[in-house]
Amino acid sequence: MAITKVWIEEGCIVCNACEAECPEVFKVTDTSCNVNGSVREDGVDNENRDEQSPLSGSTGTDLEAAIEAAAAGCPVEVIKFEKA
């Protein structure tokens, strides 16, 4: 099963662990973490919390292990994803 969506819940502490693990998907800003628009169907750079935009192309398959590792390594557990 591939990951279809990734989003960041409120509470990100901008520790950079997710971007270090999977920079293709995550970009840490001064205040939160964004899901890169380049891997989202809607092309928007933000937390993807409200939009719940699906991942584009084969991103969810190609980067599944890295996304799961980033979520597991998040010290405040705000990285969420959905599989289908």
For residues 72 and 58, give the distance between their C-alpha atoms in angstroms, rounded to a whole number.
21
User: Is 75 strand, coil or helix?
Assistant: coil
Residue 1 clears pLDDT 90, i.e. is over it: no
Residues 10-22 have pLDDT tens digits of 999 999 999 999 9
Q: Could you tell me the domains of the chain?
A: 3-83 (3.30.70.20)
Residues 71-83 have pLDDT tens digits of 999 999 999 999 9
- Give the type of residue at 15: C
Residues 48-72 have pLDDT tens digits of 999 999 999 999 999 999 999 999 9
Mean pLDDT of the chain: 97
Nearest to 21 by CA among 1, 51, 82, 79: 79
